[in-house]
Structure 1
Amino acid sequence: MSLLSVLLLSILTGSALCQYYDYGSYLEPSNLLGPSGPNCAQDCDCPMNFPSAMYCDNRRLKEMPSIPPGIKYLYLQNNQIEEIKAGAFANVTDLRWLVLDSNRITSSKVEKGAFDKLASLERLLFSYNELTEPVGPLAKSLTELKMIGNKLSKIPSVTMLGLANLTSIHLQENELTSESIAGAFEGLTSLHYLDISQNKLAKLPAGMPKSIQMLYADDNNIDSIPEDYLSKLPQLQYLRISHNELADAGVPAGVFNVSTLIELDLSYNKLGSIPEVHENLENLYLQVNEISKFDLGSFCKIIGPVNYSKLKHLRLDGNHLTRSSVPFDASNCLRQAAELTVESTD
């Protein structure tokens, strides 16, 4: 089987906007910032050209170093640290960024009160450790929380209580269930981005704040979506539910027909038909489902000078469709499309 791209109006010349954050951009190599200051912890670098940062990454550290006053950006990723004691940050109450990715820290080895005095903390990166529950309480100044690749099985509702500045949460590759995160994000009035991919969710999370713009739930066990779920999220623009268990019976008619959505990814599910979407949708990914009919009514109820779909990219490869499945008048409805991909059996 070969892939056949049906170009409706023009050739695709751009690439899709990547919504994932590049955390490497946070890190400036310490060896490019000049010699280290005299008060720096042993085995770490505190560049005199960037005196508010301390680089302790990739040093095979087994315990937290002593942190001198004045440090606001602390990089401790890729070590062998196992515990954080209550007084670990006593000298740096003005710490802004704390990067603890890829260590061996367990929840039981984070002493009570370890983060209590970090009243100015903005970014906490705590991925690829061995946490079974989130650390806290956390500063109300926090804007970004990253706990990818731990062993989290629940997010208690009190964990994020009062975090009105939190805009971005990454919880991929954990052991979270729908019940264990129900209500966990309520009250996060600034939350724009939530990634809960690669967990054990059977449903999309309940109690989502109205501020959410990007919701990613790929690689779970989601088999249905409540009829009014998206209508309660008036700012949602990007929704990804690929690699789940969605079938037609679990997708109410019109559930995705909301005007705010720009991108919808339903690839690698069990859908037998193309769901109805709003004319404002620009990117729709439906590859590798069980779709056997190209229903133009899913995109356009009325076709006219000002009534047409805004779709630019439509993926339908890996279904039961061929080139001949595309209706002759599809170009009138999908007049802005740059790419429409189906699978050819010719």
Structure 2
Amino acid sequence: MAMRLVLVFLLSALLPFSLSQVRDPLAWLYTRQSPGYYFGSVQALTAAGGDCPEECDCPPTFPVAMYCDGRGLTAMPTVPSRIKYLYLQNNAITAVPDSALVNATNLVWLMMHHNQLRSDAIGMKVFLKLEGLERLYLQHNNLTSIPPNLPRSLRDLRINHNHIEKVTPADLEGMDNLTILYLHDNAVSDIGASLKALKSLTLLDISGNKLAKVPDALPEHLHQLYLESNSIDSLPEGFLGGFTQLQYVRMAHNQLTDKGIPPNTFNVTGLVELDLSFNKLERIPIVSTTLQHLYLQANQIKEFTLGSFCSIVDVTNFSKLRTLRLDGNEINRQDIPSESALCLRQASSIEV
């Protein structure tokens, strides 16, 4: 009976709490702070012959994982060759020498966010033999550049909240499998065409940087593009025309003006959400009738132009817009023409 209770406890502890309520479905992996939160009581029962470092937990119920998160570590522990999932987040590790992962060639996930890693303290050969690594989390460190020789097997790279100033083509060369790239909250001012070769990339977040323009030659299969909180004042001609699957574009907190946006830039089918709030727009840009959510709050818009949403209004031609935010501009509800009820017949929320 006692053994059954222990097993029930362990199984329930493995399940993340309220996954459906967090934006990132993997957030539960890196929000645990206290040592041994899940497996502290079973470290001594390691099923792999006692090769688990003393400062970590290696549960017999999950023998390919090693939990070293939130242990106050300042250096890398020894990693057994059987480990596939390595959790080192929330420590004070400053360096990853070439020898640190020499035995850990089977790694699939490496979680090292919320440490004190420096770029000059990461060995040139650390990642060379990690040919199956899929997730690498390095956010919230002290990195000034993307580490060299990253595995081409990577699918999810999170390197946000560091001090990276530049991204070069060599940094991401050959990463044909990469689908998620978080680069936000760095100091990037230059990307050039470094991202063009990422042919599988679907989510790119480069908000909170020092970009003065939209990066050249973005991957064509992007599904989500986040460019908030930069210094972008204009968009290139045909900005969205080359994307085949793009649905979410967020460019809030930039310096966009009417003059800097070519006509019909946002009049593209497929777009679901467009956020242009906190810019310097004086007019509502023309958007596609298929757009569902448009955020324009905190601009300098002076009139409600119904033609921005509908060029023709009849039984079959109307906007699919559900959410429209215009609060914080220079218009009020009296400026909305009465015929807008036909054009915006699906809108459940219009804020002015």
**TM-score above 0.5, yes or no:** yes
Asked whether 1:230 is paired with 2:233, we answer: no
Q: 1:93 to 1:139 in 2, by over 3 A?
A: same
1:131 and 2:138 are equivalent in the alignment: no
Instruction: Answer yes or no: is 1:185 the counterpart of 2:188.
Output: no
1:18: how far off?
Answer: 9.7
Deviation at 1:110, TM superposition (A): 0.6
Work out the CA distance in 2 between the residues paired with 1:214 and 1:94: 31
- Residue 115 (structure 1) aligned with residue 127 (structure 2): yes
2:176 alignment partner AA: A
Letter in 1 for 2:75: E
Pairs aligned (count): 324
Paired with 2:324 and 2:21, the residues of 1 have a C-alpha distance of: 17
SS at match of 2:351: strand
Deviation string for 1:139-166 (max 9, x for gaps)?
1211000011111011110111111110
2:313 is aligned with 1:307: no
Query: Which residue of 195, 200, 208 maps to 1:198?
Result: 208
Paired AA for residue 32 in structure 1: Y
Measure how far apart 1:80 and its partner are.
Answer: 1.0
- Structure 1 residue 20: Cα displacement: 4.9
Q: CA deviation at 1:28?
A: 9.1
* Inter-partner Cα distance in structure 2 for 1:18 and 1:175: 31
Pick aligned residue for 2:38 from 10, 32, 36: 32
**What displacement does 1:234 show?**
2.2
Provide the rounded CA distance (Å) in 1 between the counterparts of 2:30 and 2:233.
Answer: 39
> What residue is the counterpart of 2:170 in the other structure?
158
Closer, same or farther in 2 for the Cα pair 1:310/1:18, shift >3 Å? farther
Structure 1 residue aligned with 2:346: 336
Larger helix percent: 2
Correspondence for 2:290 among 267, 276, 280:
280
Identity of aligned residues (%): 43
TM-score, normalisation: structure 2:
0.89
Partner in structure 1 of residue 6 of structure 2? none
Residue type of the alignment partner of 2:340:
A
Structure 1 Cα separation of the partners of residues 222 and 215 of structure 2: 12
| Amino acid in structure 2 at the alignment position of 1:64 | M
Amino acid at match of 2:24: Y
TM-superposed deviation, 1:70: 0.8
Higher RCO, 1 or 2 (CA under 8 Å, sep at least 6)?
1
Q: 2:279 aligns with which of 259, 269, 272?
A: 269
* Aligned counterpart, 1:77: 89
Point out where structure 2 has 5 or more consecutive residues left out of the alignment. Answer: 1-19
Matched residues in 2 for 1:284 and 1:170: separation?
Answer: 24
Runs of 4+ off more than 4 Å = 17-20, 27-30
Q: 1:257 aligns with which of 267, 290, 295?
A: 267
**Alignment of 1:209 onto 2:219:** yes
Tell me the TM-score normalised to structure 1 length.
Answer: 0.91
Identify the residue that residue 157 of structure 2 maps to in structure 1. Answer: 145
Which digits, 9 at most, give the CA deviation of each residue in 1:5-43, with x for residues without a partner?
Answer: xxxxxxxxxxxx999534423359654346121221121
Structure 1 residue identity aligned to 2:38: L
Q: Deviations over 1:207-252 (max 9, x none)?
A: 1111111000111101000121110122211000000100111011
Structure 1: distance between partners of 2:37 and 2:63: 14
Q: Which residue of 1 aligns with 2:335?
A: 325
Query: C-alpha deviations, 1:189-221, integer Å up to 9, x for none?
Result: 110000001000111111111111100011110
Could you give the per-residue CA deviations for residues 111-162 of structure 1, whole angstroms, max 9, x where no partner exists? 1101101000000000111111101211121100001111101111011111
* Cα distance, 1:301 vs structure 2: 0.3
Match of 1:113, as an amino acid? K
Structure 1's unaligned 5+ residue stretches are 1-16
Worse overlay, 278-287 or 46-55: 46-55
Q: 2:276 & 2:297 partners in 1: Cα distance?
A: 8
CA distance in 2, matches of 1:204, 1:18: 32
Cα distance in 1 for partners of 2:277, 2:73 equals 42
SS in 2 for 1:183: coil
Contact 2:124 2:149 in 1 (8 A): no
Of the three residues 65, 77, 80, the one matched with 2:77 is 65
Please tell me whether the aligned partners of residues 30 and 89 of structure 2 are also in contact (alpha carbons under 8 angstroms): no
